[in-house]
């Protein structure tokens, strides 16, 4: 085989690996720039007659549907989702990082269009997840991902919570059918909030807002998706009936505005490539102020007629190009690699860097993710490394400048012992994270205490990192319960403590005894159990004692609790150390229940899920719901295999049919009332 053939094969394999990582797994392992370089190299190796040109000139829907070869734009489809065939393909864009290439694009167009007067529109390239919204008679009927460009996954339910998503076109003037294209994204604050929660739960962090957005739109449970705040912005036109409804992108953009759709912040119509270049530079200055991440500018022919004349390749239109902005990179010296032990024992290697200015902030630390990542990039202490901000936020070491590597440097050896307690580290099969298995490891204890005291859990004022360090180092505190045994004398021996500060800390610890049950459950730091699961568990089990006794079946019958979480809860309470700790907390009077309005023997609906349908006469929906919850049950809005009873009043429709199909017990309102009276 020719060298170039071997390289072509290699590049094709590499690109398909990275496509899978980016589109389907939502976990890219290289930067966009590196990916683009590989793609450019492959394109240059492919002979021009290899280039597929199926969509050039005027393209009809039917020849599109008969598309005979694999698509060239990646594929995000998952088996669990319903497929939707786009009425007009969702293509990719040709990219460039180079000014000359941008002007070449303009020259190519002049040859194809055979005219020298046309307009461009310039707008931001949003680094989100592409979506196609279908509106029929002005109503949103479907939202789909790009998929393979021809067929996408239907994600309507997962994005309906987006506040700005127009369910209806707010005007009397709209086409019968229209596909509106745009991008779903997540704002930085929301990304940080979610990663912060994951960090405290000991879970892997999302690399950037784009990946988190991609993961969110593909969640199997729309209620989970609705807990993450997504946003949307719209810019593109797919199929439209009647055709000819719009004559230019400028008109289309104006209609989006009139219809009340969220649109891009920067939209400029210009009449030459030179003016477009001016706008690209202007956009680069403003883009930091937008609430979505942008990685470039998109320059498109304004006239839809000229677009049709220019045509498309199988991959991208010839009437548009993306000019990608370089994300800022800096070289700096890697002074050290240190390992951090999280509260779940996860070991995170951190790069300590010679401070460097990067995209507006001083960077002196960067996450190295895990041992595999250090090995793959062969990062060594003493190296000059290249740092970039992933998704423009989190600093990452993206590579090493090998030309300045010192000859004596040695590959970094990931320690086999915990840097804190020297216990042998462990790695579960299929995981890339090393963990310290010693739950008494003082770094883990410190992490657990910080988590327990945090605002989102028990909210213990003045119990911060520095105090916790001293309490653990001096062996005053070995577990959460020890906090409640602290005395003023103990605290006065600590650095920085006097009468007043000691009393303040003791009083906030004392106050925490009255915190809500869900906060306590959350504060225990059980792996996978975050705020919302803690609330559900508190409501369902009403006390730590019943949660401790819960069977796997009872746990998984709760919406949002899957087998992984149930197993983690089970393992936590199986641990004798944790059992002793709970006993000590109880002895000290920490609130471990929801209150005793009803004693445990009255919890007749514990672990049972009800769905109410049809009209009820004896109770209002609210009253029935409240009764069920007070007696330990749960009310769900839709029938599923997790439903225990369907209470059906007159007029019950599809829910009744579904319950019958799933052989779920159906109760009349009278049956339900009897159950409560007889408490059976
Ligand atoms: S126009 C025919 N405009 O970038 C393709 N795309 O890398 C028309 N994107 O698939 C796309 N911002 O998901 C267009 N202002 C913008 C965009 C934009 C982001 C995405 C889009 C596209 C991808 C190509």
The per-residue pLDDT for 230 is 96
Kindly name the residue from 8, 114, 125, 377 that is annotated as catalytic.
125
- Give distance in angstroms: CA of 472 to centre of ligand 1: 53
More confident position, 412 or 195: 412
β pairing state of 645-648 and 665-667: parallel
Q: Is the pLDDT of residue 280 over 50?
A: yes
pLDDT averaged over every residue in the chain: 87
Q: What is the pLDDT of residues 479-510, one digit of tens each?
A: 999 999 999 999 999 998 999 999 999 999 99
Distance 125 CA to ligand 1 centre (A): 6
What beta strand segments (E) does 370-460 contain? 384-390, 394-400
Give me the domains of the chain, ranges plus CATH numbers: 1-51 (1.10.287.610), 52-324 (3.30.470.30), 329-404 (2.40.50.140), 442-596 (1.10.150.20), 599-679 (3.40.50.10190)
Q: Given the CA of residue 130, which atom of ligand 1 is nearest to it?
A: 13
Mutate to test the pocket of ligand 1, among 55, 124, 130 (most ligand atoms within 8 A of CB): 130
What separation in Å is there between the alpha carbon of 316 and the centre of ligand 1? 10
Residue with tokens 């906090």: 483
Which helix H or strand E contains 110, and what residues bound it?
helix 99-113
In the residue annotation, 125 being an active-site residue is answered as yes
In this predicted model, which residue has the larger pLDDT, 542 or 200?
542
Containing 547, the helix (H) or strand (E) segment is helix 544-549
**427 DSSP 8-state letter:** -
Nearest CA to ligand 1 atom 2: 91
Dihedral sign, Cα of residue 648, residue 649, residue 654, residue 656: positive
Per-residue model confidence as pLDDT tens digits over 297-345: 999 999 999 999 999 988 899 999 999 987 778 899 999 999 999 898 9
Ligand 1 nearest-atom number relative to CA 73:
10
Q: What is the pLDDT of residue 289?
A: 83
Q: What is the mean pLDDT of residues 442-468?
A: 91
Question: What integer pLDDT is reported at residue 204 of this predicted model?
Answer: 67
Dist. CA 183 → ligand 1 center (Å) = 8
Atom 1 of ligand 1 has which residue's CA nearest to it?
236
Nearest CA to ligand 1 atom 18: 125
Q: Ligand 1 center to residue 289 CA distance, Å?
A: 20
pLDDT at 54: 27
| 244 burial via Cβ count (<10 Å: 0-12, 13-18, 19+) | exposed
Looking at residue 65, its pLDDT comes to 27
Judge whether 48 and 10 are in contact, CB under 8 Å. no
The string over 472-489, giving b where at least 16 C-beta atoms fall within 10 Å of a residue's C-beta and e elsewhere, is: beeebbebbbbbbebeee
Cα(389)–Cα(412) distance, integer angstroms: 23
By residue count, the chain amounts to 680
Q: Give the position, in ligand 1's atom list, of the atom nearest the Cα of 316.
A: 2
Q: Does residue 83 register a pLDDT over 80?
A: yes
Q: What is the pLDDT of residue 611?
A: 93
Q: Mention every residue, 6+ apart, whose C-beta is less than 8 A from residue 476.
A: 482, 486, 490
pLDDT over 90 at 73, yes or no: no
Q: Which residue has the higher pLDDT, 291 or 585?
A: 585
Q: For residues 454 and 475, give the distance between their C-alpha atoms in angstroms, rounded to a whole number.
A: 21
Q: H-helix or E-strand containing 652?
A: none
Please state whether 193 falls in left (phi above 0), alpha (psi between -120 and 50) or beta.
alpha
Using 50, 70 and 90 to split pLDDT, how confident is the model at 71?
very low
**Residue 97 predicted with pLDDT over 50:** yes
Question: In the structure, what pLDDT confidence band is assigned to residue 15 with cuts at 50, 70 and 90?
Answer: confident
Question: Which residue is closest in CA terms to ligand 1's atom 10?
Answer: 92
Identify the pLDDT of residue 141. 96
Dist. CA 266 → ligand 1 center (Å): 15
Reading the block at residue 439, the tokens are: 């739950």
For the chain, the C-alpha Rg in angstroms (whole number) is 29
What's the rounded Cα separation, in Å, for the pair 443 and 435?
12
Could you count the other beta carbons within 10 Å of the beta carbon of residue 12?
Answer: 14
User: Nearest-CA neighbor of 32 among 326, 361, 405?
Assistant: 326
Could you read off the pLDDT of 607-663 as tens digits, one per residue?
899 999 988 887 777 778 877 877 778 888 889 999 999 999 888 888 999 999 999
Residues 16-54 pLDDT 10s = 767 766 766 666 667 777 777 788 788 777 743 333 322
Residue among 88, 91, 126, 267 to mutate when testing ligand 1 (max atoms within 8 A of CB): 126
Q: What is the atom index within ligand 1 of the atom nearest the CA of 127?
A: 19
Give the C-alpha separation, 594 to 516, whole Å.
7
How far is Cα 460 from Cα 504, in angstroms, rounded to an integer?
10
Contact predicate 233/262, CB 8 Å: yes
Residue pLDDT, tens place only, 260-276: 999 999 999 999 999 99
Q: What is the pLDDT of residue 58?
A: 27
> What is the side-by-side strand order in the sheet with 294-301?
95-96, 320-324, 294-301, 120-126, 268-270
Whole-angstrom Cα distance, residue 337 to residue 179?
Answer: 50
* C-alpha dihedral, 549 to 553 to 558 to 563, nearest 10°: 100
CB atoms within 10 A of CB 467: 22
**Helix, strand, or coil here: 312?**
strand
How confident is residue 562, by pLDDT bands cut at 50, 70 and 90? confident
Specify the ligand 1 atom closest to the Cα of 264. 15
User: How many angstroms separate the alpha carbon of residue 590 from the centre of ligand 1?
Assistant: 55
How many other β-carbons are positioned within 10 Å of the β-carbon of residue 622?
Answer: 8
Q: Whose CA is nearest to atom 21 of ligand 1?
A: 130
To test the pocket of ligand 1, the residue of 123, 322, 323 to mutate (highest count of ligand atoms within 8 Å of its CB) is 322
Averaged pLDDT for residues 74-79? 82
| 550-576 mean pLDDT | 91
Q: Choose the residue to mutate in 36, 75, 86, 236 for probing ligand 1, maximizing ligand atoms within 8 Å of C-beta.
A: 236
Q: Which residues line ligand 1 (CB under 6 A)?
A: 91-93, 123-126, 130, 183, 235-236, 298, 317, 320, 322
The whole-number average pLDDT for the span 573-586 is 96
Instruction: State the pTM of this model.
Output: 0.56
What confidence category does residue 66 fall into, taking pLDDT thresholds of 50, 70 and 90? very low
Closest residue by CA, ligand 1 atom 22: 92
Q: What is the DSSP string of 3-68?
A: HHHHHHHHHHHHHHHHHIIIIISS--SS-HHHHHHHHHHHHHHS-GGGS--TT-SS--HHHHHT--
Protein residue whose Cα sits closest to atom 13 of ligand 1: 130
Using the atom order of ligand 1, give the atom closest to the CA of residue 129: 13
From ligand 1's centre to the CA of 80, what distance in Å? 26
71, two tokens:
């698509």
User: Where does the pLDDT of residue 680 fall: very low under 50, low under 70, confident under 90, or very high at 90 and above?
Assistant: very low
Atom of ligand 1 nearest to the CA of 89: 2
Distance (angstroms) between ligand 1 centre and the Cα of 307 equals 15
Spatial contact of 559 and 536, defined as CB atoms under 8 Å apart = yes
The residue whose C-alpha atom lies closest to atom 17 belonging to ligand 1 is 125
Which pLDDT tens digit goes with each residue over 231-264?
999 999 999 999 999 999 999 999 999 999 999 9
């Amino acid at each position: 085989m020719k060298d170039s053939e071997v390289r072509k094969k290699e590049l094709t394999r590499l690109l398909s690996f990275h496509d899978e990582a980016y589109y389907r797994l939502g976990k890219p392992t290289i930067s966009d720039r590196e990916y683009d370089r590989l793609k450019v190299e492959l394109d240059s190796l492919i002979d021009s007659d290899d280039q597929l040109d199926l969509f050039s000139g005027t393209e009809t829907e039917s020849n599109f549907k008969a598309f005979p070869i694999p698509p060239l734009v990646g594929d995000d489809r998952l088996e669990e989702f319903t497929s939707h065939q786009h009425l007009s393909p969702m293509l990719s864009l040709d990219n460039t990082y180079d000014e000359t290439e941008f002007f070449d694009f303009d020259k190519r167009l002049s040859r194809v269009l055979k005219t020298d007067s046309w307009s461009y529109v310039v707008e931001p390239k949003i680094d989100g997840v592409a979506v196609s919204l279908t509106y029929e008679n002005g109503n949103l009927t479907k939202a789909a991902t790009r998929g393979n460009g021809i067929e996408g996954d239907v994600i309507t339910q997962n994005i309906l919570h987006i506040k700005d998503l127009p369910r209806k076109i707010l005007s009397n003037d709209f086409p019968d059918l229209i596909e509106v294209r745009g991008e779903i994204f997540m704002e930085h604050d929301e990304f940080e909030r979610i990663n912060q929660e994951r960090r405290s739960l000991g879970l892997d962090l999302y690399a950037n807002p784009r990946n988190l957005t991609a993961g969110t739109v593909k969640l199997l449970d729309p209620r989970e998706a609705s807990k993450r705040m997504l946003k949307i912005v719209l810019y593109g036109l797919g199929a439209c009936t009647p055709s000819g409804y719009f004559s230019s992108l400028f008109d289309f953009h104006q209609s989006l505005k009139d219809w009340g759709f969220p649109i891009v912040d920067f939209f400029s119509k210009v009449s030459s490539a030179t003016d477009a270049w001016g706008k690209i530079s202007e956009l680069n200055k403003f883009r930091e102020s937008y609430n979505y991440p942008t990685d470039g500018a998109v320059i498109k022919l304004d006239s839809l007629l000229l677009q049709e004349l220019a045509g498309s390749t199988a991959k991208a239109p010839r009437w548009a190009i993306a000019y990608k902005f370089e994300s800022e990179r800096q070289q700096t010296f890697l002074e050290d690699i240190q390992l951090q032990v999280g509260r779940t024992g996860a070991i995170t290697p951190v790069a300590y860097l010679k401070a460097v200015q990067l995209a507006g902030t001083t960077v002196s630390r960067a996450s190295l993710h895990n041992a595999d990542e250090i090995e793959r990039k062969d990062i060594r202490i003493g190296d000059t490394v290249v740092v970039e901000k992933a998704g423009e936020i989190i600093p990452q070491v993206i590579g090493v400048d090998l030309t300045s590597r010192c000859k004596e440097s040695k590959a970094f050896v990931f320690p086999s012992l915990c840097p804190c307690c020297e216990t042998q580290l462990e790695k579960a099969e299929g995981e890339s994270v090393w963990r310290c298995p010693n739950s008494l490891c003082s770094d883990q204890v410190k992490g657990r205490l910080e988590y327990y005291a945090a605002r989102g859990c028990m909210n213990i004022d003045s119990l911060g990192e520095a105090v916790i360090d001293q309490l653990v180092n001096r062996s005053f505190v070995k577990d959460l319960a020890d906090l409640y045994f602290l005395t003023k004398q103990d605290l006065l021996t600590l650095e920085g403590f006097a009468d007043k500060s000691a009393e303040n800390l003791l009083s906030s610890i004392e106050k925490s005894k009255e915190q809500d049950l869900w906060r306590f459950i959350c504060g225990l730091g059980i792996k996978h159990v975050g705020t919302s699961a803690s609330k559900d568990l508190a409501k369902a089990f009403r006390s730590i004692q019943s949660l401790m006794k819960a069977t796997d079946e009872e746990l998984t019958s709760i919406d949002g609790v899957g087998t992984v979480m149930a197993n983690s809860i089970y393992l936590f309470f199986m641990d004798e150390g944790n059992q002793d700790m709970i006993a000590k907390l109880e002895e000290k009077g920490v609130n471990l229940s929801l209150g005793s309005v009803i004693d445990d023997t009255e919890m007749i609906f514990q672990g049972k899920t009800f769905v109410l349908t049809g009209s009820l006469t004896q109770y209002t929906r609210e009253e029935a719901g409240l009764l069920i919850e007070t007696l330990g049950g749960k009310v769900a809005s839709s029938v599923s295999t997790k439903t225990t009873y369907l209470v059906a009043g007159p007029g019950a429709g599809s829910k009744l049919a579904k319950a019958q199909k799933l052989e779920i017990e159906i109760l009349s309102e009278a049956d339900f009332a009897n159950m409560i009276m007889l408490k059976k």
